[in-house]
Structure 1
């Protein structure tokens, strides 16, 4: 039995179904009249009005059966809502989707089925009016026309269901919303599409000293002159894609009625329904700014007034303990040791607070350069060894990736390791050990993992989600016995993320905790950059397999071939794949059987699959009905294949294609975002550092690259594209000519001044697997 997949709009579909408030209600004559009419008109034993809920099909009206609901996975109607137009099955025993369905093999003995979709007001397919027969049956065109008419009748009844109840619910929601608005601490303002004030709540009234006379006036009357450009950019800039709903946050200066200004945080949100407009949420930031100023003044005082005397104190203690003034009595030495250790604690606290301030203000500088990790790990262990000895803890290094290199700041990487090592030593049992590991994080050696593992008591569950916050101790119950600033992990997380990496922890088998840091690895000297196998080509014809592989690699993807279902199972079990192409006519086991196995395995249940077959898919059945994202008939068209694979790799939710635009010119970024339009998720990166971070965080369908950036030449990115972007196509769009060696590494190299907008748009659309659009120039 082929279980029906969820439709792409499942969340919205369920929301629309639940808004009807019809599920689990009593039988009603107005619905039963429809199913009785259908039963008599077509002479079938069973007629149903079936609604597909999350895990069941529920019958609002039923003739011929007693059950009020059945499992969704066994439902014919759950297949019907995956397509437009009626689902007709003339003989279920001959259909591979239903031949072994319990409703076919069990007491119902379903043979023939015809289901016409029932739509909600929003267009979602909520269920069906369906006919079921226990013998094989053909349905004529006149039969299906009559079924459509009856379904339209059922749709009408569904969508006018309980108008009074819907009105009551709407009135209650409106009253609750008004109460929330009236009591909200933030100012909430609604604006027309032109930016004129339409409504505002009590908090906005108090904030701006408003009156009813401001209705219809421009919102810019509430904005200080020096911030009007920033607010205008929030409304008209590229931060919110044209034609879409979205929000942008800004810090601006606002004007009170008396002409005084105050700092404010604003969130501008574009609204499209029920009519175009905007909402503006305003928060008075005066108190936050005052507290921040006090904090910054305090940190400045700490920096200038405490570091100097502490340095003197620490230096003097060191001289005394070193015998500069003669031999120190044993009793005095123990007291001086205590003073020296606590002086060091104060210095560490001050340094950590200064680091946090730099991180929050964006002033932390990173000296980026290729770094060998093994020497840094050894240096961090040497730095921490004396600290660990006071807990009688031994530090052990186990390095597998001995030649691993990353792009990073040596001092900051050492700081991260020292923080992790110090914590592990503190929380390890006396006489225990801390294991430091250096290994490849994946088979492609594109990421490297550093681990610091202890045998302590572990992380309490209540601290797991906030462990990397500021002033959080790893073991709150033992905070006095294990002193520390509580800032080390927060600083480490900020540093690692700035380097395009990830930091986390996991319980250690046998007790304890293993902290890990994953970083994008640089290619080893003399070795080609590792490539990530992306697409599995399941095809028994070697010539066609070779052709498909070549087409995929021309599209910037890497592919491997499985010549049979058995080989495909082995390859699918051995590693992760981003997509698979599948020939239906495989030797030994047909492709549909393999596809059912793929969907039954947790590791591959969501793997995007595109069918490549010598025959067209069955009439009336969509690719989704077989568990595939698309069905392409041979001979293979290159553009259609690449488009189908890229769309499949975006997932079953039909996500928008994602474009990373690495460009430091904000005007050009807005122009390109407007060109590709709201159908593409355009992410901007103005520096190499930001580009590396974005590339490590998510997969993109295309990278558009300007070479000259404030912090270096963007060609550095090509040498170490991290997963999941190792196979992402790159287009250089620069102000100067690209040299031949560099141009050979990318899909296309364009010069800005020589490339018409329509030519650039056509190239972008082709490479992201989208049909060409013609958006007006901004």
Structure 2
């Protein structure tokens, strides 16, 4: 948009006119054309006045347009244009900055969550280590072993968190690599079920793995597939209060689909569309705030699966009837 020295709009492109929802804009005072512009929540045109005097301006991050659909953040500059040594026009150049703002907000949330989640295991390690240093001469062997086990468990938790954060970073930067080889998905699932059996027993839940002898081989990264299975099966256990989990394998158009169906409380419709986003905690969607989660597991699992030529989807979920997640990979 170009504004003359009389503060009148002389030129506006099609995009700006459509964005501003005012036509025609040419011939009108810029303050009328830009009446929905807010800077810091106010109609503040002081920078426009400075630009008309010949001083280039960059609008602050708080600049936005109000619309019936909500506020739209913008990035914008004001540039005086000279002709024969005098200011003839001022160009107001702006762009929808919604995506950049969302990205910045996600990055802030990422680092904030990383710091918050790491604080807990690091605090446990620090407290247990300090106690051992201060009282090791008076503590008995059992107490010492107990504190060392706490340090070990908290250290494992911290390493898992760091690995998750590194995986997210690699995914976002397109640097995550997968090594595709044929492997037995049924045997791998059985291995994960065995590793999580103690957690299921602790919660008094069953885990039924219906083993298929007909279709077993898939093509993918075995270690990353194990991470996906571990996340999906452990979620099914963590978010189920009664009953348990049933795991099946089915062929579908040259892909092998591993389905995990739990008898949990289900996931609310509002949460389902956000399920695979970063930091979306499944527990919140299942009305189970007691189940702890960083909200990264499903996001990472889906990205892993897609990089291997497959996918992770929520196949079905009904209130008080449980959920079914499906992990698909090409058959090998």
* TM-score normalised according to structure 2 size: 0.60
5+ unaligned residues in a row in structure 1: which ranges? 1-171, 186-201, 215-278, 317-324, 523-778
**Does the 8 Å contact 1:399/1:439 carry over to 2?**
no
| 1:328 pairs with 2:142 | yes
| 1:437 pairs with 2:248 | yes
Aligned-partner Cα distance in 1 for 2:98–2:264: 46
Number of aligned positions between the proteins = 258
- Give the Å deviation of 1:437: 1.2
| 1:470 pairs with 2:278 | yes
Aligned-partner Cα distance in 2 for 1:504–1:206: 36
Aligned-partner Cα distance in 2 for 1:378–1:463: 30
Equivalence for 2:328: 518
Equivalence for 2:295: 486
**Does the 8 Å contact 1:369/1:409 carry over to 2?**
yes
**Does the 8 Å contact 1:460/1:475 carry over to 2?**
no
- Give the Å deviation of 1:513: 1.0
Quickly say closer, same or farther: Cα 1:207–1:474, change in 2 above 3 A.
closer
Equivalence for 2:263: 455
Equivalence for 1:391: 203
- Give the Å deviation of 1:441: 2.1
DSSP-derived class of the 1:211 partner: strand
| 1:211 pairs with 2:211 | no
Quickly say closer, same or farther: Cα 1:176–1:419, change in 2 above 3 A.
farther
Quickly say closer, same or farther: Cα 1:379–1:402, change in 2 above 3 A.
farther
- Give the Å deviation of 1:284: 10
DSSP-derived class of the 1:352 partner: helix
Aligned-partner Cα distance in 1 for 2:101–2:319: 48
Quickly say closer, same or farther: Cα 1:291–1:429, change in 2 above 3 A.
closer
- Give the Å deviation of 1:417: 0.5
Equivalence for 1:47: none
Aligned-partner Cα distance in 2 for 1:510–1:206: 46
Quickly say closer, same or farther: Cα 1:207–1:411, change in 2 above 3 A.
same
Quickly say closer, same or farther: Cα 1:309–1:439, change in 2 above 3 A.
same
DSSP-derived class of the 1:380 partner: helix
1:405-444 to 2 correspondences below 5 Å: 405-430=217-242, 432-442=243-253
Quickly say closer, same or farther: Cα 1:299–1:354, change in 2 above 3 A.
farther
- Give the Å deviation of 1:422: 0.8
- Give the Å deviation of 1:378: 1.7
Quickly say closer, same or farther: Cα 1:491–1:311, change in 2 above 3 A.
farther
More strand per residue: 1 or 2?
2
**Does the 8 Å contact 1:367/1:408 carry over to 2?**
yes
| 1:382 pairs with 2:194 | yes
Equivalence for 1:256: none
- Give the Å deviation of 1:351: 2.5
Aligned-partner Cα distance in 1 for 2:326–2:25: 47
DSSP-derived class of the 2:303 partner: helix
Structure index of larger Rg = 1
**Does the 8 Å contact 1:299/1:354 carry over to 2?**
no
**Does the 8 Å contact 1:299/1:353 carry over to 2?**
no
- Give the Å deviation of 1:367: 1.7
- Give the Å deviation of 1:402: 4.5
Equivalence for 2:310: 501
Aligned-partner Cα distance in 2 for 1:293–1:474: 20
**Does the 8 Å contact 2:262/2:323 carry over to 1?**
yes
DSSP-derived class of the 1:386 partner: helix
Aligned-partner Cα distance in 2 for 1:358–1:469: 16
